[in-house]
Amino acid sequence: MPVHIALLRAVNVGGTGKLAMSDLKALCEKAGFLDVKTFIQSGNVLFCSDLSATDAASVLDKALAEFMGKAPGVMVRSRSQLEAIAENNPFPDAKPNYLMVNFLPEAAPANALDKLVAPDGEEVHVAGREIYVHYPNGSGRSKLKLPALKHATSRNLNTVRKLAELAAEMEGAGG
């Protein structure tokens, strides 16, 4: 059974979009997903399902909408996709925690970088359904403006690698 990695948008430790990972796990199990595991308090969940990635994302987004009052947006990727994203990093000299991968629900439009404002030397690269952003001074202080990221969810390269590793472990365990 395939392992899916779901990345939730607009889920935070506190404030708007607060969702306990225990609630996320329970929601996934109620939706029929198997071997559910969450990773850090930022909306990452791995599970097994025979559903396609698109269908799994839709089921989870609907369940979250019922639970939270609105659909946060769910991007689902496979282990091999996350591994390729990490391997194809266009900024190999960037510190992994200063490189954010922004996951989009569909391929970025051709004009995705047209309204880019990168005042602190941020570097941006579009690759299909992902937009890589290297923040040389860290993302927390950045004044980067990129409207194409409005519907994206971001994970740093360390998290992307760890999620791929966890998925590989699940697959190895017969997941």
Task: Give me the domains of the chain, ranges plus CATH numbers.
Answer: 3-77 (3.30.70.1280), 88-156 (no CATH)
Q: pLDDT-derived band of residue 174, with 50, 70 and 90 as boundaries?
A: low
Residues 36-66 pLDDT 10s: 999 987 889 999 999 999 999 999 999 999 9
Cα–Cα distance, 87 to 102 (Å, whole number): 15
By C-alpha distance, which of 84, 87, 97 is closest to 40?
Answer: 97
Percentage of residues of the chain with pLDDT beyond 70: 95
Say what the pTM is: 0.93
Neighbours of 65 (CB within 10 A): 12
Q: Which residues pair with 77 in a beta bridge?
A: 5
By C-alpha distance, which of 51, 52, 49, 38 is closest to 8?
Answer: 38
Q: pLDDT-derived band of residue 162, with 50, 70 and 90 as boundaries?
A: very high
Q: Three-state DSSP class for 123?
A: strand
